[in-house]
A and B are shown apart, each in its own frame.
Chain A
């Protein structure tokens, strides 16, 4: 392997390339699930990832279908175990993703791109049912990455409202807290963190980053062990349109003023701040410090 590659590649990537160079075994596959609250950039980050020739993130998969996907995948595994089918780790993951894609909002017969080394799906609020996702991708011989898209919750609420979500702040905070709670549970579960790399992708930080290419390279591609230059990453971003932005989806810009009454409601919800505080501890500097930022 050339020395310059040795310097820039992670150990995992070196190992993969070594196996490929010497024809040892199969190319390792990475599973990537994009979650987080809706209107936090899940679509945009997925689109950027999908610009890479070896990455295939399908979606959107409805989170209510996980239980069905899990059952279908479990049946498939049992069938092959019973009848001696050849189901290695790579194929196991690919079949799980293919099954998931058939449950997508707009079902697809997915095609693997390039080397097919990164596959997965995007589902806002998928963290609510993470135990089911973990069962869908139960193979041990794969790298698994969960990208949690995060955004200042006030912007999330305003974006949802502009989009026509008719609920009040009370409902929103209740649902939002569930996402935060799920993320904390995942991050504190030894069995989860043993198998999954959980990464926070902050939309606010992305929007305010001066060097967007570098930001994308480090925050999105690096966790997947996918080597791209900052320039390529920037190109991927430029190739995508933020097709799910509020302005595109509704024809009008997002509301920008968070009502005082809504803010007062949030302020008196101790659990909300407690959850955000815990996440700020677990993931410092990843956009969970709303109150601090506000202060």
Chain B
């Protein structure tokens, strides 16, 4: 089976998932759709299970009859097709027959790492490289961006929602490393991208080379040149994100032991230095 490569972009909302998805999509060999709500995955699984059971029964009948061609039901491809149908802007199926193993298909779903086991169950059958990109940014900025975007929750609730993401991605990576899950898991730190001397070098090293190979440097440069950050707070709300935390918010983020522990584990697992509060 000539499966294309699979690319799923997850991570915390307002951490560059849209921007990185657009950067990947701008490559001519990539077809990414999205956004898909992570809550759609159980629906995809339910429909897929019903389809698989139906085709298994039919196949059994065919075998008993002793005639007819064997079915070609490939659950991982059907799972991707169904995922597209459940996207916020629903998509029709990829033409898998026209795709080659060097091409990349996938989607972006913030917070999907919370459901990494289900994600593996649905898409783990791709017989080609499978990439998962976890997008994150400095946590104070992540909170401020969410808040400016209209998410009217306080910092306590932000941490409560963030912790499962940080813990899940570490668990996913640990499981993948130990059990040979077959996923290439990368962390994309938005601040590192923004602050990088050369955006195209950064994008090439961390995204384009793994997905598209050593020849993709020029394509990475073009992607950076042609892709705007259409989901930036300024573009979406018409005003820049709130720039400063209140003292209470800063204090809470700094002193939360659970958050600190989760960030330390994340930093250790991915060998990065994600700060909770952006250094001045």
Contacts and interface: CB of A to CB of B under 8 A. Distances in A.
Interface of A: 62, 65, 68, 71-72, 75-76, 79-80, 83-87, 91, 94-95, 98-99, 102-103, 105-107, 109-112
B73 A75 contact: no
B96 interface: yes
A91 B81 contact: no
A109 B72 contact: no
Contact of B85 (A71, A95, A107, A111): A95
A95 B92 CA distance: 7
Contact of A103 (B40, B54, B96): B54
Given A68-B50, A75-B47, A79-B40, A95 B93 contact: no
Contact of A79 (B68, B86, B92, B96): B86
A80 B87 CA distance: 9
B51 A102 contact: yes
Contacts of A87: 90
A66 to B, nearest CB: 11
18 contacts: A68-B51, A71-B50, A72-B50, A79-B43, A80-B90, A83-B88, A85-B89, A86-B90, A94-B92, A95-B85, A95-B92, A102-B81, A103-B54, A105-B71, A106-B69, A106-B71, A107-B51, A110-B93
Contact of B94 (A68, A80, A109): A109
A85 B90 contact: yes
A263 B150 CA distance: 76
B88 A85 contact: yes
B8 to A, nearest CB: 18
B117 interface: no
Max chain B Cβ within 10 angstroms of own Cβ: one of A91, A95, A102, A103: A102
B85 A76 contact: yes
B47 A72 contact: yes
Contact of A107 (B47, B72, B87): B72
Given A75-B47, A85-B90, A109-B77, 13 more contacts: A65-B54, A68-B54, A72-B47, A72-B50, A83-B88, A85-B89, A86-B89, A102-B81, A105-B58, A106-B69, A109-B93, A110-B92, A112-B92
B93 A107 contact: no
Given A68-B54, A79-B40, A107 B92 contact: no
A112 to B, nearest CB: 6
6 A-B pairs with the lowest CB-CB distances in the bound complex, closest first = A109-B93, A111-B95, A72-B47, A107-B73, A109-B81, A95-B85
Contacts of A79: 40, 43, 86
A109 B89 contact: no
B93 A111 contact: yes
Interface string B130-144: 000000000000000
Given A71-B50, A83-B37, A76 B72 contact: no
